[in-house]
Structures are given as structure tokens and as C-alpha cells.
């Protein structure tokens, strides 16, 4: 069977995943603020209400608690809701329904009720969104047992992972790095913007396909050190590696929980050095868990401590966005330190 | 801009305080009990704006002498009335026994619904058996009415090896999908938006099943309550949202939840939802209100909000001592009586019941509960060994065990071996 | 249990839909505009239950011809009226200019309040200058009315080196404690319980200052709204809770927030809070309602809830394109007109203003804004170098820098040096 | 000046701190569910309403969002609110007000408004509370910049730390290990319960005193390894150390954020081995941050990987509570592994 692909940016790929799934599975319902007629503030659901009908793709009141709470009830009925939270920064009012309800339902009812729901939400900074349109709260969800956390870094993965997330029988938080919705981002914010079309990840099959959750992708092989990262930072890391010529292995985790520990371990044991890169604030970010795991499991292979390259422990500032962002300078310095030790 | 006048009175913060505290003699003579049919039963399809007064009245059917009268009288057959009575009596007998089991150290926790039995038994009888219920923790009467095996309830309470929830949940946090009874959460009011979502799903599928949820008057303050009401109103959802106003939320009287200023039923008016205020200790009124609401929902006339005005006769739970914060014997003074007593009185009045039958039935139900308790205890009680296998702790976190949980299963088994010796075997 | 009848109609899910979409011709002839004084102004001390009808009416003062009539007429002096007009005009001129600045790439974001100026300007004029305001992001009119320096607003919008918020916040997220204006949050409705808490504090201290909060009709769905209403009711708090119903929440019409079933003002009734529904484009009605509410709060008569019925004339923000989801030119059809136009008409009508004066004042205000803009731009615009020192990013996370932030300050300075060379100096 | 001390359990010490502070500072206000007339479900505020008046100690509606949101407003007015969240498991509905508002207020207003509020909440398991009365969500708060996280382990510390938290001009989350309210807990759940009176930490001054935030306490000195822990687990670790005779240094962190990094570093550099113990679920728990920090800063002193001894990545189960709890067996095994490597 020939697979028909099409150049897509991240938003188009997500839209395509949702469209395919709405077509295949009558149980799928999309709900969220402004996602209906308008198609979402980032256009991820554009055209879907018109095509699949108002009872399958609809606007909600501005209540993240209600959105996720209603979705839990829909899931209990037997549907597969895919709620959108307009910005990850606004997920907190719905957090109780997510962590105390969605994440616990299968466990507390011993499988009587399940919650196959995928919460989509744009996250991350780099768009001058200030502190309430830039947050990366992913690590909070990795601490909550019963939820999977998925973060794609390119259109191909976004579609395949989103389909797998929707088909998963457990709740998934699917964070979409909004900085790269329309093009990959090298982190060199003063250079011209690249479109997705020049990136291999923009060749996206029009039809259904899945990328298994819990599998990382090695986006660049290397010997000098291992970089563990995800989302926007994958592109920044690759760009810095190209720029510096340091022979780093770059691993795009794609799923934070459950983590692809095998790929991580094998790489770090090979290179003996490990760096973790994320945009979220440092303290108790997911980098902490990664550093802890790597030193637990690869201790005798490590030539240097695991380095964390992260956002600072401050809110995401508006005008000093690039000073906050873990960009090329921060990454380069950390790489140099790591290989010198 | 206006200049603040300097001769203004100082502002005052009002902190609500119940009328009676320990040592006081409770006196409920100020509770207004309207005449039966002061507001006659409107059509189920009525516009919410046309029936706002129902939120400020009190729907009643049984008068003080046990007569069923007025337009809300559901006209149930004697058999149904007796069934209702026995379901309420069984609920009470069950509560008494399980409360005692907790006091005997057989489990960690229990919660009674004494005095509030009508709000779960009569409502469950007015719903279809496949309408989905999203209860709080005080609606054991639904399960009993729907014929859920008592022994399964007890196994759950004991967290024993037969507990189908694998000993994971606090006692009374039942889950019974086959009886259209949603898994109970410890977090207050979370079931409210879930019930709305379930009904939205049902409606979007052109199904005919509706949903109903319950919470206490104290829980109405949670944001989930508001989300649920908003979603129910916006999507004209076939859901029945109920508040059991039993006057107390642990130690806080209903004024702390906003009860001083208006009725809880009035909350529904703000959303344009049909809202009823019902004598929660009058089983026939409760039944009638739920039937009205269910018929309304089934015919695409949208959600109904119901307040049951009742009284929490006992402590909040086994962890609570109500004598520390409220007047003794308040329940005896409650002007709306006891739902069991009132239905019994009615049945006797219409010649379909007698004191003797009542006593005999009470004894029979107590026996049934005792017998069932023995059966359940054969499966173990909390902390006495007959629990679920250790590794069951990791099941159902996810559908499939991820690697890190697999490692933790290994670990817990090794630990148990280290603890109980090499001959130890996972049970 | 009742058996579900098998011949029941299938349930239906109702998804609200606005009457007009792009391509349609908007027609608001169904918007009910009651007569002036259909409901006369009650005493400020009235019991909420006695004045429920105010939540379903529409408080108006200015008629279609610009006459101020009826019992709500606040009887303002011409000077006050002219001040009100010029505050609204300045707000509009400011909005136009800053919107353009964003389009010119001088900053990242802007939000106008065009058409809604009365809801902030007239309310601020009716409050005392030290009453605390908890605004949403569309009440720039409060700052302008209270005389907050325009240049400070612009510095904030440009996130430049003179921005007293140190370039940290998204444009328009002002903070002005000296003008009793609370720091604006990006998270909707969070200011609601905060305003209640502030007023509770004021009341508990026997202070005389009250508080007021604003949110959009879309934001009323958040749980914070409900918490705030509950707390305000329970503690009889001296707070004025306001909803600016501008018909739209980004692309969602008011029906998605529950506006199809009842008024937003009705939300207040459920809590037993006095609730007013006001023509939000009638500056005198807005002023009168706020005065009524403020007097009520100041005399310990408790909270008031107010809905301003208005219309969002422009896009949600600079990130928005309203043509994608609503009919073009809806605002021109809005039956309640434009607050600036209506007050102007009134002033002319009473012989206190003229077209010439109006045009001259408009030009003058535009000039003022332009002049101020130059002044602000001398301090820098977004992304053009004249920002705050890098290490300022770490200030105010805590009162004192903990060790980990100190290390990060070092790091950011080293990074900047690596980036800009050794001669680089922290500015 | 002579300090008058008195034997107090943890609840009494907390009550005493609140009482002292209500007396000293008219700006202090206590609010929460059932804390007024009744004195709180754990009796922490018993007698305080009667003594200090209804407008200073009062019951609230059951709305964690309202409790924290109103407290933010009170703090903006100039008060120092001390809200109680009845169980840490129920903090989520108030999380948005805590992380997006309380934690951000000083930053976003550049010091215009501050939020000196202390959220008290009982946390942790070991009381057969099941999954919704046993959680330890502390790590979530350590990821949120702008909040301090404090956890006492004995009556003396509880009082001194609570007073310091209340006097702190930033928001503090003060988690009280409910298992040890009435007595220290060795983790040997089948042995007789000890009362606080036999523990040195129960000699508590009646009057005001403070224990500086951000300072750990070394509760036992040792050479073989360093144990980093807090709350209930301090007692369990000490008991296991006594039982096994392993010469461990036990550090009670007391403040998680800001962390006392000096004490941690000095100890690990001395012992060369480090173990982190907490009751919270493992993945992305605070142990991850500690492990990451220790390996970053003490890498060349470490003889073995940092060990994490934690609750499992499941909800806290009701009947299998002791199999979940990181008790003596788990700790002993980890210590043995650590010193053998
Ligand atoms: C979110 C949340 N907050 C607090 C609690 C603790 N709590 C359990 S029951 C209860 C009182 C509830 O009162 P009410 O809603 O009136 O129900 P009732 O117990 O009277 O049936 C409280 C505060 C909880 N379980 N969940
Ligand atoms: C908690 C939260 N959820 C979502 C958003 C995104 N958002 C920003 S403005 C807005 C619409 C608000 O509409 P409304 O309350 O009517 O105010 P208006 O913009 O009309 O003044 C939304 C959804 C947000 N800022 N905060
Ligand atoms: Mg109650
Ligand atoms: Mg709006």
C-alpha cells in the first residue's frame, strides 16, 4: 500500500490526526475553549466542527475544571474525549479533575471505569507570551501516577503520537510546543525563521498511523555525550551540535512517562556523559528525574556529572525572554564543560 | 472621583454562627414548613423562569398525620411503598452494623446516612435502573435499592481479599458499574461535572439514559459545582443535580456554605435551571421531585436542580464527634421528622402496614445484615492478613504495567520475602 | 425501580450557536430594551429577595435622544459629565494608538476596550479613589480616570527600561497600588476571590474602604467566580462584583457561557446577593448602579453583583481576527449605541457641549497620547535593547535571593558576556 | 531570660505557634474548613477562635480555591493569612490561586503587592487514610518558583518553623506530617506507639521563637552514608539506623525550598554515599531533585549512585498501606546496597 504524504506543519499534522480519528472512531469528541466554529486560537481544530458536526467538536465555557470534569464523565460513558486546554498555563484550574479523577479512576475502581482521554495543550515559550503564555508544567504530570505525558517535536511525530495517545486507554497529557507550531526553531532567535517544509519531519502521511508511546527517537547519533531532550529544545540542541561540531547523541524522548529507559541507558553507557535540556524551570523539573535515573542506572559509566540545562527558576519574563530561554549559549557552555571534565 | 465620607461607619465582617452549640437546647420553631401544595406541581416541561418559586418553597406530600396529599403525590402502590420502606430500613440497619464494625476495629472508617435515607432510596426508585448515578459518600441507599449485594459492600468496607476494589479504597468508596453507580471519589463535588459530561455523552449519542448526581450542601461551594451547573445549563443536559442539605458539613453549619441568605435550591436559578426545594425527610416528596426531574430530562427539557432539606442525624463519620460542635439531640427536634418513621406512619394510616409487621421486618433485616456480615468477615477484615496480593497494588495504575512499575513489583515482593522469610509466598 | 420506557425520544445535545456568523447581516431587533424606570431605583439597603427583578431588567438613564431621566439618574454636574466624557475619549485615543504601536512591531500584544469605556470610567468615578479595584485586562479606563500617568502605562506596554514592572509582564498587565489598582493576572477570574478577600480584610479591620472586581461574561464560568460569590455572600462582604457582558469571549458568544437561558445578573440571585443588570453603554446608568452598590457596601449592607450589558466593538486582542467568527459591523447595529456618543449627545442636549468642542477635545487628546508615546519610546520599545538589566529577572521571585537564584544570576551574566563579548557590561 | 518550656506534641506545638502569633500580630488571620469553633479536624486550632475572636479565626466554605484566593486578597490588603487546607490531597482545587497568584504576585507586580501567606496542610500517610487522605504532594510546590516549602519533623521544629513561615514575606506551604501529630513513628508499625513526651523535640518553649527557614538539622552524625529526609521519615530513618547499627548521618531537611545545600554538600562529601528518603511517589518526587543536585555537586566524592527510597508510583493503597510505605525493610535494603557498592 502506498502511503500518501503531504508537507505539513505541526498544526496541520495535529489537525490531520484529529480529523483521521474523528472519521475512524465515532466515540471521539473534541471540546475546549474556542475550538468549534473558530477552530482554536492556534487553529489546531480548524474545519473540524464543520466536517464532523457540532456535537463532536464544540466550544465550552471558560472552565478548565468543567472541561476536564465533563471529559471524565464522557470517558466513563464510553467516549474518548480529547479536550483542549488553550494554554498549558491555564491547566491548573482543571488540575484536580486531572490528577485526582482522570488519573485515579481506573485504579480506584479496579478497572470498573477507565478514562481514555487525551488533554491537548500548547506549552512552552519563545513567543513573547510572558509568564502566563509560556509555561512548561510537564514535570508536575510526571509525578502524578496514572497519567502519561507526551511531547512531540515535529509534525510527523505529532500526528503519530497524538493518534497513539487518543487510542491509549489511559489519560494522556499531550503538550504541544507552540514555538514550533509553524516552523522548527534553532534557538538562534536573531536568524531567519525556517519553515517546516525544509525539515524531514514535515512529510506526514495523510492517513492514520501511530507512533508507539514510550519510545524515544535518537535524532542524531554521536559519541561524545548524550543529550536528553524533547519538544522545541530538540531543534535547539541539534542546531547547537551542528554549530559547535561536538559529536553529541541527541535523544528526543517524545514520551516523558513512561520513559524509554532502554534508549537512555544504552546511549549514556556508550557516551559516558549526559546532559538534559528543557525549557521548564530547573528545580524539580523533569531534568531532575532524568538526572536521578541516569546516575542510578549508569553511575559506573559516567565520566562527569549529569548536566542540567534548563530555564531559570523564575517566571518566564516578557522582555528578557531570550535571557531566560535555555538557548545556544547556555547549551554550548554546558556541553563544553561536560566534555572537558 | 467620589471622596470617601469621613463620617462613615466602620465596616464589619459577618461570621455566620449556628443558633445552637453544645449545651444549648435546640429549637427549630423558626424553620418554615409551608402548607402542602402551597405551590402546585407544574408541568415537567415548564420554563425555569416560570417556576422560580419552587426554589423557595418546600415540596411536601406527607402531612403530619401520615396522609399523602396534594398535586405532588406520586400515588405509589402499597407494594412500592413497602419496598421503599424496607430499602430505607435495610440501609439503616446496614449503617448501624458497619458503624459498630468500625468501632470494633474491623475497619478504619465508616459513614452513616441516618435520617437521610429517603434522598438515596426514594430517588433511586424514581430513576430507571440504568440511569447513571454519581453519588457522594452518603448514598449507600442507592446501591441497596438497586439490589447490589450487601456482602460486596461489606467486602469493600473491610478491604478484604474479596473486595473487588482490591482493598485500595477507603471504606464506603464503592464502585458498581453494573448497577449504574459511579466510583466514589474522596474529593468533594468532583462527581458533579462528571455526571454532566456523562449525560452530555448520552445525549450526543441519542441514548435515552440520563444521569443524576448528589452532593452535600457544604460541597456546593466547590468550583466543580459551578462548572457542572454551567455546563448543564449551556448544553441543556439531561442531568439531575441534587444537593442533600443535611444542615452540617462536618462541624460547619449550612450558613458557612451560604445558607443564611437564601435556599440552596436558589443556586439553580442563577443558571436558568429548573430548581426544586423538597422536604428530604418525606420519601414521597423526594420520589415525586425526582420523577418530575427525570421525566423532564428524558424529554429533552433539560437539567433540574434539587435541594433536599434534611438533617444529618449522626456524626459526619466515625472520625467525628458531633457533640463537640452542635447541640445534643438536634435530630429529635427536627421539625420534618424521620423519613423511616414518616413512611411507616403513612403505610399504617392507609392500612397497609402495622407496628408488628414493622418490628418483624426490622428484626429480619438486622438478621440479614448480621448473617451477611459473617459471610463478609470470612473473607477477612482490615489489617488481619486476608488482604489482596501485594503485587495487586500496581495493577490498574495504567492498563499495562510500564517498566518502572514492573521493577517496583519485583521490589515489593523481595521486601515481603525479606520481611516474612524465604518461605513466604505471594498470596 | 422505574423501567425506562422503550418508546422514549432519543436525547439531544444542545450546542449553542450565535445568531450571526461571517457573511450574515447582524440584526439585534430581538434585544429587549425596557423602558427607562421600568424598575425604579430601590433603597440601597433593600433585601436582595425584594429586588430580584433588577437582575432581569436593564437599568437605564439616557434615552435615545440623550435625555437623562428616571429614578436612577445620578444628577451629575456638567463638569463631572465632561470629565467622564474626556476620560472615555482619552481611553479610546490611548487604545487606538497602542493598538497601532503593536501593529508597528513596537510591542508584542495589546487589548482594546472600545465600546466598553463606560464600564471602567464611570465605575471608577463612582468609587472613592482609595477603594480597591481588581480589574480584568479590559479596564484601562480605571487607571486613566484615576490619573495614573499615561507614560507609565506605555512603558509597561513597551516593557522598556522605565517599565516599573521591569519588563516582566505581558503588555497591559498593569499594577498600580498608589491608584488602588491591583496587579492584573493573565489567569481569568482569579481576581474575583482576591477582591472578596481584600474586602473581608478591610471589614475585619473596621476600615471604610471597599473593593470592586471586574470580569468578562466568559470568565464567569471559572470556579473562582463561584468561590468569590460564595465567600461574598457568606461573610456579607463589602465588595462589588461586576461582569462586563460584552457578548464575546474571544470567538465564543455569550451563549457558550450560559447566556441563552437567563441573564448574567441572575447568577447573583442564587447566592442571595443583590443583583443589577445595567445598560453598559449608558455611562450614567453605569455610574448610578455603581454608586448604589458602593453606598450599600459602605453601610454594611453587603455585596452587590452587577452585569453591564455591552458589546465588544473590536477584536479580542491584537492576536485575534473577529471577522473569522462573527458578522461584520455588529457593533454598528448594537441597539444600545456607543457610550462615548451617548454621553456626548447628552451633554450637547443639555447645552453643555458642542460638536466643535468635541472635535477639539478629540484632537487634543490624540495629541497628548502621541506626545506621551514619544516620551515613552525614548525609554525603549520591546526587543530594541533598552530593556531592564538581565539580573533583574531574578528579583522579586522571593523577597531575598536564595542561593540557587544567586547562582543563576551569575550564570546569566556569564552567558551575556559569552554572547556579547568581554566588554559587555550589565546595563 | 529563662525560657519556659512545656511538653507538647506536634499539634500542641502548632497550636502554640498560632496562638503566640495571633497574640503578637494583629495582622494574622486563620481561615479554613472547620477550624473555627471546632478547632480543626486535627485540633490544630482548638481554642483559638474563642481566645482571639471570630474575625481572626474562622470557618470557610468548602472551597480551597476560595480559601487561598481570599487569602491572597487579604495579603494584598496587608494581613498575614494562615489558611488551612484540611488534607494536602485537597489542595489541588486551590492550586491555581497558589501557583499562578500567590507565588507570582510579588514578581509580576515588581514588589507592588506581596503575599505573606502560610498555607498549613496535613500530609502523608500511615493512618489508613486511603489514597485521598495520605498524599505527599510537596515536590509539585518545589517546582513552582515563588513558593517556599517547609516540613517539620518534631514539635520543637514545628513551632519554630511555623513562626518563621508566618513571618516570612513570601508564600510558604507548610506541610505537617499527620502520622506524627501525636507521637514519633519508627516505621515499625507492629511495635507499641511511642508518645512525643519521650522525644527531645517535645520540649517546646511556651513563648515565641523562630527556626530560620532554609536550614537543615543533622539529627545524627555518621560516616558511612548520608541520609537526606524530612517529616515522618526522619524518625523511621533514625530508627532503622539504630536497629541496623549502620553509621549513617541523618539530615532532616526541614525546608525543601530553599534547600540547605551547604549542609547537604558537606555531609555527602564527607560520607561519599547518599540516600534520599521520602514517602511521596518516586518519579519526579523531591528525591529526584536531591539526587540531581547531589550528583551535580558531589560527583567526584560519590562512591556509589545516590539511592532513592520512596513510596511506589501508585496511589496510596488502603489495606496495603504498609507495603507501600517506605518502611524499615526498604530503607535497610537500600542502606546495605549503598554501603556495599
Ligand atoms: C476537595 C475536598 N475538600 C475537603 C474535603 C474534606 N471533607 C470531607 S467531607 C467534608 C464535609 C462535606 O459536607 P457536605 O458537603 O455538607 O456533605 P455531608 O457530609 O453533610 O453529606 C469535608 C470538608 C474533601 N473530602 N474534599
Ligand atoms: C484560566 C484561563 N483560561 C483561559 C484563558 C484564555 N483566555 C484569555 S481571554 C479569554 C476570553 C475571556 O472572555 P471574557 O471573560 O468574556 O472577557 P472579554 O475578553 O470579553 O473582556 C480566554 C479564554 C485565560 N487567560 N485564563
Ligand atoms: Mg452536609
Ligand atoms: Mg466577554
Q: Are residues B401 and B319 in the same domain?
A: no
Residues of C in contact with D72 (CB under 8 A): 193-194, 197
Query: Can you give the pLDDT at residue B235?
Result: 98
Question: For B214-226, b where at least 16 C-beta lie within 10 A, e where not — what string?
Answer: bbbbbbbbbbbbb
Checking if the pLDDT of C384 tops 90, the result is: no
Beta bridge partners of C242: C214, C306
CA distance D96 to A87: 14
What tens digit of pLDDT does each residue of C323-353 get?
999 999 999 999 999 999 999 999 999 999 9
Question: For C103-140, b where at least 16 C-beta lie within 10 A, e where not — what string?
Answer: eeebbbbbbbbbbbbbbbbbbbbbbbeebbbbbbbbbb
Mean pLDDT in chain A?
97
Give the one of A96, A289, A308 whose C-beta lies nearest to D284's C-beta: A289
- Whether the CB-CB separation of C398 and C122 falls below 8 Å is answered with no
Query: Can you give the pLDDT at residue B383?
Result: 86
Cβ partners under 8 Å of residue B80, min gap 6: B125
CB atoms within 10 A of CB B400: 12
CA distance D321 to D125: 8
In terms of DSSP bridges, do strands B248-249 and B252-253 run parallel, antiparallel, or are they unpaired? Answer: antiparallel
Using the beta-carbon criterion (under 8 Å), do A320 and C387 form an inter-chain contact? yes
What tens digit of pLDDT does each residue of B177-235 get?
999 999 999 999 999 999 999 999 999 999 999 999 999 999 999 999 999 999 999 99
Q: Are residues C302 and C408 in the same domain?
A: no
From D155's Cα to the closest Cα of chain A, the distance in A is 28
CA distance B32 to C294: 33
What tens digit of pLDDT does each residue of B343-391 get?
999 999 999 999 999 999 999 999 999 999 999 999 999 987 777 899 9
What tens digit of pLDDT does each residue of A262-274 get?
999 999 999 999 9
For each of chain A's 341 residues, which pLDDT tens digit applies? 689 999 999 999 999 999 999 999 999 999 999 999 999 999 999 999 999 999 999 999 999 999 999 999 999 999 999 999 999 999 999 999 999 999 999 999 999 999 999 999 999 999 999 999 999 999 999 999 999 999 999 999 999 999 999 999 999 999 999 999 999 999 999 898 899 999 999 999 999 999 999 999 999 999 999 999 999 999 999 999 999 999 999 999 999 999 999 999 999 999 999 999 999 999 999 999 999 999 999 999 999 999 999 999 999 999 999 999 999 999 999 999 999 98
Residues of A in contact with B204 (CB under 8 A): 29, 55-56, 79
C-alpha C90, offset from chain centre: 15
Query: Can you give the pLDDT at residue B404?
Result: 98
Mean pLDDT in chain C?
96
Q: Are residues B330 and B400 in the same domain?
A: no
Residue C215 forms part of a structural domain: yes
What's the C176 CA to ligand 2 centre distance in angstroms?
Answer: 22
Give the one of D140, D297, D315 whose C-beta lies nearest to A107's C-beta: D315
Q: Are residues C277 and C402 in the same domain?
A: no
- Grid coordinates representing A17 are 490526526
Q: Are residues C180 and C135 in the same domain?
A: yes
CB-based burial label for A270 (10 Å; 0-12, 13-18, 19+)? middle
- Whether the CB-CB separation of C221 and A62 falls below 8 Å is answered with yes
In terms of DSSP bridges, do strands A274-281 and B211-216 run parallel, antiparallel, or are they unpaired? Answer: unpaired
CA distance C13 to B300: 9
What's the A55 CA to ligand 2 centre distance in angstroms?
Answer: 23
What tens digit of pLDDT does each residue of B248-305 get?
999 999 999 999 999 999 999 999 999 999 999 999 999 999 999 999 999 999 999 9
% of chain C with per-residue pLDDT over 70: 98
In terms of DSSP bridges, do strands C304-309 and C274-279 run parallel, antiparallel, or are they unpaired? Answer: parallel
The closest-lying atom of ligand 1 relative to the alpha carbon of residue B217 is 16
What tens digit of pLDDT does each residue of A98-112 get?
999 999 999 999 999
Give the number of A-D residue pairs with CB atoms closer than 8 Å: 125
Q: Are residues C127 and C214 in the same domain?
A: yes
Query: Can you give the pLDDT at residue B6?
Result: 67
Q: Are residues C410 and C341 in the same domain?
A: no
Residues of A in contact with B177 (CB under 8 A): 109, 112-113
CA distance A155 to A176: 10
C-alpha B38, offset from chain centre: 27
Checking if the pLDDT of C6 tops 90, the result is: no
In terms of DSSP bridges, do strands D148-150 and A307-311 run parallel, antiparallel, or are they unpaired? Answer: unpaired
Element (H, E) at A6: strand A5-7
- Whether the CB-CB separation of B415 and D327 falls below 8 Å is answered with no
Helix, strand or coil, per DSSP, at residue B71: coil
Q: At what angle do helices C117-126 and C78-103 cross, to 10 degrees?
A: 140
From B163's Cα to the closest Cα of chain A, the distance in A is 10
Query: Can you give the pLDDT at residue C424?
Result: 72
Spell out where C180-297 has E strands: 211-216, 239-245, 248-249, 252-253, 274-279
What's the B263 CA to ligand 1 centre distance in angstroms?
Answer: 19
Residues of D in contact with A139 (CB under 8 A): 143, 284
In terms of DSSP bridges, do strands D225-229 and A5-7 run parallel, antiparallel, or are they unpaired? Answer: unpaired
Query: Can you give the pLDDT at residue B385?
Result: 75
- Which residue do the cell numbers 497568584 mark? D101
Give the residue numbers spanning the domain of C215: 48-377
Residue B12 forms part of a structural domain: no
Q: Are residues B278 and B407 in the same domain?
A: no
Ligand sitting nearest the alpha carbon of D84? 1
Residue B385 forms part of a structural domain: no
Q: How many domains does chain C have?
A: 2
Beta bridge partners of D186: none
CB atoms within 10 A of CB A114: 18
CA distance D154 to D156: 6
Residue C404 forms part of a structural domain: yes
Residue B88 forms part of a structural domain: yes
Checking if the pLDDT of B1 tops 90, the result is: no
Cis amide bond preceding D258, omega within 30: yes
Helix, strand or coil, per DSSP, at residue D75: helix
What's the C195 CA to ligand 4 centre distance in angstroms?
Answer: 20
Look up residue B33 and give its DSSP letter: -
Checking if the pLDDT of C290 tops 60, the result is: yes
Q: Which residue positions in chain D have pLDDT lower than 50?
A: none
Question: For D54-91, b where at least 16 C-beta lie within 10 A, e where not — what string?
Answer: bbbbbbbbbbbbbbbbbbbbbbbbebbbbbbbbbbbbb
Beta bridge partners of C275: C305
How distant, in Å, are the alpha carbons of C111, C167, C384 from that of C158?
A: 13, 8, 10
Chain B interface mutation, best of D181, D319, D324, highest count of B Cβ atoms under 10 Å: D319
Query: Can you give the pLDDT at residue C426?
Result: 53
Question: For D5-16, b where at least 16 C-beta lie within 10 A, e where not — what string?
Answer: eeebbbbbbbbb
Give the one of C13, C221, C291 whose C-beta lies nearest to B235's C-beta: C13
- Whether the CB-CB separation of C308 and C284 falls below 8 Å is answered with no
Residue C104 forms part of a structural domain: yes
How distant, in Å, are the alpha carbons of A91, A165, A233, A313, A325 from that of A278?
A: 19, 22, 6, 12, 9
Q: Are residues C353 and C254 in the same domain?
A: yes
- Whether the CB-CB separation of A279 and A325 falls below 8 Å is answered with yes
Query: Which of C127, C297, C280 shows the shortest CA–CA distance to C196?
Result: C297
pTM above 0.80, yes or no: yes
Query: Can you give the pLDDT at residue C3?
Result: 60
Residue B245 forms part of a structural domain: yes
Q: Are residues C302 and C171 in the same domain?
A: yes
Q: Are residues C133 and C205 in the same domain?
A: yes
Helix, strand or coil, per DSSP, at residue C351: coil
What tens digit of pLDDT does each residue of C89-138 get?
999 999 999 999 999 999 999 999 999 999 999 999 999 999 999 999 99
Checking if the pLDDT of B426 tops 80, the result is: no
Q: Are residues B397 and B249 in the same domain?
A: no
Query: Can you give the pLDDT at residue A98?
Result: 98
Ligand 2 pocket at CB < 6 A: A 33, 62, 86, 90, 93; C 138, 186-188, 215-219, 244, 246, 248-250, 312, 316
How distant, in Å, are the alpha carbons of B10, B284, C91, D243 from that of A171?
A: 52, 42, 47, 43
CA distance A206 to B241: 44
Residue B235 forms part of a structural domain: yes
- CATH number for the domain that contains residue C77: 3.40.50.970
CA distance D341 to D329: 18
From C330's Cα to the closest Cα of chain A, the distance in A is 17
Amino acid at each position: 500500500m502506498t502511503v500518501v504524504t503531504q508537507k505539513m506543519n505541526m498544526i496541520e499534522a495535529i489537525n490531520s490526526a484529529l480529523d483521521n480519528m474523528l472519521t475512524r472512531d465515532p466515540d471521539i469528541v473534541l471540546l475546549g475553549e474556542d475550538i468549534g466554529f473558530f477552530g482554536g486560537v492556534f487553529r489546531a481544530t480548524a474545519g473540524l466542527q464543520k466536517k464532523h458536526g457540532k456535537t463532536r467538536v464544540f466550544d465550552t465555557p471558560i472552565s478548565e475544571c468543567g472541561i476536564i470534569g465533563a471529559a471524565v464523565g464522557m470517558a466513563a460513558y464510553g467516549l474518548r474525549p480529547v479536550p483542549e486546554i488553550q494554554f498549558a498555563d491555564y491547566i491548573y484550574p482543571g488540575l484536580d479533575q486531572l490528577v485526582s479523577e482522570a488519573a485515579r479512576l481506573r485504579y480506584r475502581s479496579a478497572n470498573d471505569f477507565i478514562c481514555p482521554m487525551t488533554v491537548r495543550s500548547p506549552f512552552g515559550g519563545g513567543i513573547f507570551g510572558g509568564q502566563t503564555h509560556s509555561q512548561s508544567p510537564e514535570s508536575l504530570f510526571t509525578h502524578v501516577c496514572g497519567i502519561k505525558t507526551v511531547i512531540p517535536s515535529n509534525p510527523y511525530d505529532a500526528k503519530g503520537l497524538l493518534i497513539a495517545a487518543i487510542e491509549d486507554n489511559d489519560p494522556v497529557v499531550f503538550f504541544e510546543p507552540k514555538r514550533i507550531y509553524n516552523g522548527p526553531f534553532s534557538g538562534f532567535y536573531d536568524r531567519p525563521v525556517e519553515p517546516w517544509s525544509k525539515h524531514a519531519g514535515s512529510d506526514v502521511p495523510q492517513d492514520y498511523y501511530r507512533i508507539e508511546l514510550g519510545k524515544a527517537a535518537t535524532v542524531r547519533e554521536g559519541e561524545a555525550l548524550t543529550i536528553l531532550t524533547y519538544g522545541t529544545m530538540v531543534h535547539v540542541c541539534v542546531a547547537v551540535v551542528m554549530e559547535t561540531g561536538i559529536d553529541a547523541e541527541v535523544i528526543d524522548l517524545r514520551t516523558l512517562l513512561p520513559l524509554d529507559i532502554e534508549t537512555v541507558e544504552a546511549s549514556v553507557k556508550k557516551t559516558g556523559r549526559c546532559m538534559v535540556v528543557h525549557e521548564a524551570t530547573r528545580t524539580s523539573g523533569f531534568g531532575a528525574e532524568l538526572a536521578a535515573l541516569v546516575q542510578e542506572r549508569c553511575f559506573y559509566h559516567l565520566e562527569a556529572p549529569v548536566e542540567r540545562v534548563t530555564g531559570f527558576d523564575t517566571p518566564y519574563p516578557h522582555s528578557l525572554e531570550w535571557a531566560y530561554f535555555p538557548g545556544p549559549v547556555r547549551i554550548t557552555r554546558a556541553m563544553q564543560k561536560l566534555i572537558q571534565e | 472621583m467620589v471622596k470617601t465620607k469621613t463620617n462613615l461607619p466602620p465596616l464589619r465582617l459577618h461570621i455566620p454562627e449556628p443558633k445552637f452549640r453544645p449545651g444549648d437546647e435546640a429549637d427549630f420553631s423558626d424553620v418554615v414548613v409551608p402548607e402542602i401544595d402551597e405551590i402546585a406541581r407544574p408541568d415537567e416541561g415548564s420554563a425555569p423562569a416560570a417556576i422560580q418559586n419552587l426554589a423557595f418553597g418546600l415540596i411536601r406530600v406527607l402531612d403530619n398525620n401520615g396522609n399523602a396529599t396534594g398535586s405532588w403525590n406520586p400515588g405509589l402502590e402499597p407494594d412500592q411503598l413497602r419496598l421503599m420502606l424496607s430499602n430505607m430500613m435495610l440501609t439503616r440497619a446496614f449503617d448501624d452494623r458497619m458503624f459498630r464494625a468500625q468501632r470494633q476495629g474491623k475497619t478504619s472508617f465508616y459513614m452513616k446516612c441516618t435520617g437521610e435515607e429517603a434522598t438515596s432510596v426514594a430517588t433511586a426508585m424514581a430513576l430507571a435502573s440504568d440511569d447513571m448515578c454519581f453519588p457522594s459518600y452518603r448514598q449507600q441507599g442507592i446501591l441497596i435499592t438497586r439490589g447490589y449485594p450487601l456482602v460486596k459492600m461489606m467486602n469493600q468496607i473491610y478491604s478484604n481479599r474479596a473486595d473487588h476494589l482490591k482493598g485500595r479504597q477507603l471504606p464506603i468508596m464503592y464502585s458498581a458499574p453494573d448497577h449504574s453507580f459511579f466510583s466514589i471519589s474522596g474529593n468533594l463535588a468532583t462527581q458533579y461535572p462528571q455526571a454532566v459530561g456523562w449525560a452530555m455523552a448520552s445525549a450526543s449519542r441519542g441514548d435515552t439514559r440520563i444521569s443524576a448526581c448528589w452532593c452535600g450542601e457544604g460541597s456546593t461551594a466547590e468550583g466543580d459545582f459551578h462548572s457542572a451547573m454551567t455546563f448543564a445549563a449551556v448544553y441543556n443536559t439531561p442531568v439531575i443535580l441534587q444537593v442533600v442539605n443535611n444542615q452540617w458539613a462536618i462541624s460547619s453549619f449550612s450558613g458557612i456554605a451560604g445558607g443564611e441568605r437564601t435556599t440552596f435550591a436558589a443556586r439553580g436559578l442563577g443558571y436558568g435551571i429548573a430548581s426544586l426545594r423538597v422536604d428530604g425527610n418525606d420519601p414521597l416528596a423526594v420520589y415525586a421531585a425526582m420523577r418530575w426531574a427525570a421525566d423532564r430530562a428524558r424529554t429533552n427539557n433539560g437539567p433540574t436542580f434539587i435541594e433536599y432539606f434534611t438533617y444529618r442525624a449522626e456524626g459526619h463519620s466515625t472520625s467525628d464527634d458531633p457533640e463537640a460542635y452542635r447541640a445534643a439531640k438536634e435530630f429529635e427536634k427536627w421539625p420534618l421528622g424521620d423519613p423511616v418513621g414518616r413512611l411507616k406512619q403513612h403505610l399504617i394510616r392507609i392500612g397497609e402496614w402495622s407496628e408488628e409487621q414493622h418490628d418483624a421486618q426490622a428484626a429480619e433485616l438486622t438478621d440479614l445484615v448480621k448473617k451477611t456480615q459473617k459471610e463478609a468477615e470470612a473473607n477477612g477484615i482490615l489489617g488481619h492478613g486476608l488482604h489482596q496480593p501485594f503485587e495487586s497494588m500496581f495493577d490498574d495504575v495504567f492498563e499495562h504495567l510500564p517498566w518502572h512499575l514492573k521493577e517496583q513489583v519485583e521490589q515489593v515482593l523481595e521486601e515481603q520475602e525479606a520481611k516474612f522469610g524465604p518461605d513466604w509466598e505471594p498470596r
